[in-house]
Chains A and B, each alone.
Chain A
Amino acid sequence: MDSTGEIRVQPALRLQGVEKSFGAQRAVSALDLAVPKGETCGLIGPSGAGKTTSIRLIMSILFPDSGQVEVLGRASALEAKDRVGYLPEERGVYRKMKVGAFLKYLAGLKGTPESAALSRARELLSQLGLDDILQKKCEDLSKGMLQRVQFVGSILHKPELLILDEPFSGLDPVSVRMLKSVVADERRRGTTILFSTHVMAQAEELCDRVVMIHKGRKVLDESMSTLRRRYDPTRVLFEPLDADADLSVLRDVPGVLSLQRSEGDVQLRLAAGTDPASVIREVAARVTPARIEIARIRLEDVFVDFVRGEGGESEVALRQHLQGLAGEKA
């Protein structure tokens, strides 16, 4: 149990003071992490932040220069590989192998009997819109189909801990939705999930907790509920019914610090301690709203707050990246 009292069960995953350098470049620095059993934890940060290296250290694909990694109560993932599911960011298949044979092979390596693996594979593939592909060769599938097959390969053996490295990157929205529903099923089954993403909205949607990494260092480790409590509500979104309405009358609403217009709506920043309900009532009384709501915390804003002032790329470029608009950074 840590000082905040949030961890109430033995963690499925624990990292203590983990460091990893490649030559002179430090990829992961003093990383502490504890993911309780059954929790979905997002490892977030832009590409190159150290997420994949951290995950490889957890999986014992790389070994830390110092520090300790504990996976499902074992001193190393090597001792618990059969209970861990992993979808790497750099995922591949045996192109000449049939999908069924490939999945059977992966499940076999995890100790799952062939028949059980095949029946679960059929069920999962069907859930992901891939009926009747077991006899097809991997090379005959599209990239998106392969990604779903690889995802199935990572959960065939019903892992207790599921690690997904950028699982949605490169997928079309329909596939993303299907994949999210299977992730939700795994979560309901009680699987502990650690997934990395550079798209903050995905983390907001799926995670109980987020760990933010920047330049190899952990800069934030909070549950989403704490984050929401800490940062919310600081903004109110307002869209007037009459697009030409005079909005200057909203400036002197008590508790409003500033007004910021964007396409069609207005964002009102509130002073700390302001009751958003009273602001909403007052705003609605002055200008008839088409829509008025409290803005939820956006991880993107939290992250931008953290890295602001460090120089490097512009805020616009960083935000585009964190929204998944600019794709992968080199």
Chain B
Amino acid sequence: MNMFQRIKLVAARDFLVTVSSKGFLIGVFIMPVMGLLLVVMIPKIMAQRGAQLTVEVALIDGSNSMTEALKRELDPAVIAARREAGRRAAAEQAAPGAGQAAPATPDLSAPIFTIKQLPADSAIDAQKAWLTDDKLDKRARRALLSIPANAVARPGTGEYGTYALYAPRNLPEDAETLLHDAMRVALTTERLRADGLDPEVIQKATRVARARTVMVSPDGKQQGSPGLNRALPFIMGILLFMGVMIGGQGMMTSTIEEKSSRVVEVLLAAVSPLELMWGKLLGHLGIGLVMMAVYVGLGVLALTQFAMFGLIDPLLIVYLLAFFLIAYLVFGAIMLAIGAAVNQLADAQSLMGPVMLLLVTPYILTPFIGQRPDSTFAVAMSFIPPINPFAMLARLASSSPPPAWQVLLSLAVGLLAAWIAVWFAAKIFRIGLLMHGKPPSFGTLIKWARMS
């Protein structure tokens, strides 16, 4: 029985035990499901109300021309059309060409507005009691708009006046926003009309749809979807983060379990600490890879469905694997050392704090690095372990990939860091496995590394 066979057996056991556990299956599939929930379901759930709100708007119109315009802008169909247009504009902003016109149907989540016109000389203070009347129906709300005459017709070439909105505390934010939106459109229309201009002509003249940017690569091929390009660095960051977390954390808990159940000494009778460590590292590397394969596979499948797979450079998947290997070895080795050093999971928390910080920070930075891949910060981060896999991968996935020498240098720096981390972990692992008692600090770990 040689060393490699023993390492293979340890790795196979850890791998099979983990991937066949319910926890792993739930862990791998729960993330995409939760993501879907977050994106699709939550806004819908949030928008749902028990019953529709009605808002009675009292209007003191000093200009004597706004009532009809406001009624028109607060019509449910017009509100729905305005919301739809806003959504389309946002979608165009994120991914030009994606926003498609949909028929405007009344938005059931929006409140229904009714206008109650008051005499133009009504005093606002006198209406405040009406506004705050608490004997209203549960689903009824009130608001008061006051429009001065100069809000529509300005004196000479001076500035326009503006309106005021009075509302009780219980007026929902979306109702307030809808009122402001309606007022903005109604006022603009009426002001133009008062100056003798045709609002429809002006509206058409000022609307310029955001054009689709066509990315052109040096070989002349057209590349599309800058939206996907923008999201890619972050997606790479998530994949790297999750692969390291699932592989590393599983390895740490299994080591703690082996230590606390005292099975470790039985194992050490058959394998050396180094063989045990490499077996665990490789077994859980396999688990991280399975997880990433599932997600990358799902992603590729989704892109193929929309005939967009050509938008991703397949080399990026190779880079993802290479940098995952580095990030996993660096963070995994540290987590493994922590697992070997403590006696129970609770003791590992204090040591895991700094490690988590080092893991989460670069992952959060990936979208920013992806946006400015050539900034000094992004370039510097590409060579500083343990952040470099995240930074370099974000740059590789960005619209402006780094030169080859930087990629190679980052890989070399990463491999060196991985070697140091594994060397350090091996020293801690050998001593820690048989240590019981008070959980060690980072200082103690360094002392152990020196001792062995």
In the complex, the chain B residue whose C-beta lies closest to that of A102 is B263
Does chain B have a CB within 8 A of A38? no
Report chain B residues within 8 Å CB of A78: 272
The count of A-to-B residue pairs whose CB atoms sit within 8 angstroms is 66
State whether the Cβ of B384 lies closer than 8 Å to any Cβ in chain A.
no
Tell me if A261 counts as interface (CB < 8 A to partner B): no
Find B263's partner among A62, A86, A92, A111 (CB 8 Å cutoff): A92
Inter-chain contact A81/B271, CB cutoff 8 Å: yes
Q: Nearest chain A CB to B438's CB is how many angstroms away? A: 14
A93 within 8 A of B: yes
Contact between chains at A88 and B266 (CB < 8 Å)? yes
Residue A91 lies at the interface, judged by CB distance under 8 Å to chain B = yes
Type the 1/0 row for A143-159, where 1 means its CB is closer than 8 Å to any CB of B: 00000001001100000
Q: Report if A323 contacts B (CB, 8 A).
A: no
- The residue that A153 contacts in the complex, of B13, B264, B266, B272, with Cβ under 8 A, is B266
Interface centre among B262, B263, B271 (most CB of A within 10 A): B263
B269 at the interface (CB under 8 A from A): yes
* Distance, CA A82 to CA B261, complexed state (A): 23
B216 within 8 A of A: no
| Distance (whole angstroms) from the CB of A296 to the closest CB of chain B | 35
Q: In the assembled complex, how far is the CB of residue A148 from the closest CB belonging to chain B, in whole angstroms?
A: 14
Contact residues, B245-271 vs A (CB, 8 A)? 257-258, 261-271
CB of A317 closer than 8 Å to a CB of B: no
The listed residue (A82, A106, A108) touching B266 by CB distance below 8 A is A106
Are B265 and A106 within 8 A (Cβ)? no
A103 CB to closest chain B CB (Å) equals: 11
Q: Mark A10-36, 1 if CB is under 8 A from B, else 0.
A: 000000000000000000000000000
Q: Considering only CB atoms, which chain A residue lies closest to B431 in the complex?
A: A62
Q: How far is the CA of A154 from the CA of B269 in the complex (A)?
A: 9
Per the 8 Å Cβ criterion, residues 73-130 of A in contact with B are: 78, 81-82, 84-86, 88, 90-97, 105-106, 108-111
Partner of B1 from the list A82, A93, A105 (CB cut-off 8 Å) is A82
User: Does any Cβ of A come within 8 Å of B434's Cβ?
Assistant: yes
Q: Return the chain A residue nearest B8 by Cβ.
A: A108
- For B82, the chain A residues whose CB sits under 8 A away are none
Contact yes or no, A110 B270, CB < 8 A: yes
A110 and B6 CA atoms in complex are apart in Å by: 8
The residue among B17, B268, B269 with the most chain A CB atoms within 10 A of its own CB is: B269
Instruction: For A106, give its contact among B5, B270, B434 (CB under 8 Å).
Output: B270
Question: Nearest chain-A residue to B261 (Cβ)?
Answer: A92
Q: Interface 1/0s, chain B 265-300, versus A by CB < 8 A? A: 111111110000000000000000000000000000
Does B262 lie within 8 Å of A91, measured CB to CB? yes
B288 shortest CB reach to chain A, Å: 21
Cα A90 to Cα B262 with chains together (Å): 6
Q: Is A61 an interface residue (CB 8 A)?
A: yes
Tell me how far the C-beta of B206 lies from the nearest C-beta in chain A, rounded to whole angstroms: 68
Known A-B contacts A92-B262, A93-B263, A94-B263; A81 and B269 likewise in contact (beta carbons under 8 Å): yes
Q: At the interface, yes or no: A59 with Cβ under 8 Å from chain B?
A: yes
- Size of interface on B: residues with Cβ below 8 Å to A: 22
B265 touches A105 (CB 8 A): no
B297 to A: closest C-beta gap in Å: 29
Query: In the complex, A140 Cα to B322 Cα: how many Å?
Result: 43
CB closest chain-A residue, reference B279: A109
Contact B1 A84 (CB under 8 A): no
Is B231's CB within 8 Å of the partner chain A?
no
Q: Is B167 interfacial (CB-CB < 8 Å)?
A: no
Q: Is A60 an interface residue (CB 8 A)?
A: yes
- A residues near B266, Cβ cutoff 8 Å: 86, 88, 91-93, 106, 150, 153
Query: Of A61, A93, A105, which one neighbours B261 at CB under 8 angstroms?
Result: A93
- Give the distance to chain B from A101, nearest Cβ to Cβ, in Å: 9
Q: Which residue of B13, B261, B268 contacts A59 across the interface (Cβ within 8 Å)?
A: B268
Determine the residue in chain B with the shortest Cβ distance to A88.
B265
A109 touching B265 in the complex, CB below 8 Å, given contacts A62-B434, A81-B270 = no
Q: Which B residues are CB-close (under 8 A) to A110?
A: 1, 270
A61 to B434, CA, bound (A): 9
Q: Given A92-B261, A92-B264, answer yes or no on A84-B269 (Cβ-Cβ < 8 Å).
A: yes
Whether B265 lies near A111 (C-beta < 8 A) is no
Known: A59-B268, A154-B269. A94 touches B9 (CB 8 A): no
| Minimum CB distance partner of A165 in chain B | B265
A60/B272 in contact, CB under 8 A: yes
**Cβ 8 A contact of B269, one of A59, A97, A111:** A59
Contacts of B269 in A (CB 8 A): 59, 61, 81, 84-86, 88, 154
- Sample of 7 further A-B pairs with CB below 8 A, known A94-B258, A111-B1: A61-B265, A86-B266, A88-B266, A92-B258, A109-B9, A110-B270, A154-B269
Q: List 21 A-B contacts (CB under 8 A).
A: A56-B434, A59-B268, A60-B272, A61-B434, A62-B434, A78-B272, A81-B271, A86-B266, A86-B269, A88-B265, A88-B266, A92-B261, A92-B264, A93-B266, A94-B257, A94-B258, A94-B263, A97-B17, A105-B9, A105-B13, A110-B1
What 4 A-B pairs come out closest when comparing CB atoms?
A111-B1, A92-B262, A86-B269, A92-B263
